[in-house]
């Protein structure tokens, strides 16, 4: 899997897409604070364009500071109770995990809170 940090890319390497990702509602403690600027592979291992589904796995494998991956991913999918917004729009309107990520996209993950 390609490096997801902003390392200069040689021509021969996998092309990447630059995106920004934000985590809220406690997910920030799993991934680190503030906005994450990432260069993710433009395609998955099978050569298909990278989707949100791919991004979720990619984040889990390369960016999580915490061993408790089930707080973010369950059975290969984003766990229930996490809201996903793509460019400020509900991901349901964008095709959910099948949405193909575009350069410059902003993806927000928010864990729903219940305390009071």
Partner 1 sequence: GVGGSRRLTEEEFDRYSRQMIVPGVGKDGQLRLINSRILIIGAGGLGCPAAQYVAGAGVGTIGIVDGDVVEVSNLHRQVGHVASRIGMKKVDSLITHLRGLNTLPTYVPYGFHIGPQNAAEIISQYDLVMDCTDNPATRYLISDICVLLCKPLVSAASVQKSGQLIVLNCPPTPQGRVDGKYAPCYRCCFKKPPPPSSMLSCGEAGIVGPVVGMMGVAQAGEAIKILVSALHIPSRDFSIPLERNLAQPTLLIYTYELENAVGPYSFRALKMAGRKKNCFACGENSTLTLEGIQSGTPNYEQFCSLPSPTFTL
What residue ranges bind partner 1 (CB under 8 A)?
Answer: 22, 24-26, 28-29, 33-35, 70-71, 74, 79-83, 85, 88-90, 92-93, 108, 110-116
Shortest distance (Å) from residue 116 CB to partner 1:
4
Measured from the CB atom, the residue of 93 and 98 that comes closer to partner 1 is 93
- Looking at residue 3, the DSSP 8-state letter turns out to be -
* Residue 71 CB-density burial (10 A; 0-12 exposed, 13-18 middle, 19+ buried): middle
CB 43 within 8 A of CB 2: no
Measured from the CB atom, the residue of 13 and 92 that comes closer to partner 1 is 92
Count of other CB atoms within 10 angstroms of residue 47: 7
- Looking at residue 20, the DSSP 8-state letter turns out to be E
Shortest distance (Å) from residue 59 CB to partner 1:
16
Measured from the CB atom, the residue of 8 and 115 that comes closer to partner 1 is 115
């Amino acid at each position: 899997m390609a490096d997801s940090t902003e390392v200069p890319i040689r021509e021969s390497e996998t092309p990447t897409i630059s995106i920004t990702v934000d985590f809220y509602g406690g997910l920030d403690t799993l991934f680190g604070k503030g906005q994450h600027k990432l260069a993710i592979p433009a395609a998955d291992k099978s050569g298909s364009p990278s989707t949100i589904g791919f991004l979720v796995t990619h984040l889990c494998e390369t960016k999580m500071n915490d061993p408790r991956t089930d707080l973010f991913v369950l059975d290969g999918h984003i766990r229930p109770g996490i809201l996903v917004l793509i460019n400020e729009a509900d991901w349901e309107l964008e095709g959910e995990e099948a949405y193909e990520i575009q350069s410059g996209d902003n993806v927000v993950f928010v864990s729903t809170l219940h305390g009071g």
